[in-house]
Amino acid sequence: MRADRDRVSRLLKTARGQIDGILKMVDEDRYCIDIVNQVMAAASILRKVESEIFRAHIGSCVQEAFDSGDEGQKKEKIDEIIAVVEKLSR
pLDDT in the model for residue 30: 98
Domains and CATH numbers, the chain: 5-88 (1.20.58.1000)
Q: Residue 52 in contact with residue 11, Cβ under 8 Å?
A: yes
- Indicate if the pLDDT at residue 1 is higher than 90: no
Task: Say if pTM beats, i.e. exceeds, 0.95.
Answer: no
Q: What integer best gives the mean pLDDT of the chain?
A: 96
Q: Residue 11 in contact with residue 49, Cβ under 8 Å?
A: yes
Residue 78 CA neighbour count, 13 Å, CB half: 7
Q: What is the pLDDT of residues 17-58, one digit of tens each?
A: 999 999 999 999 999 999 999 999 999 999 999 999 999 999
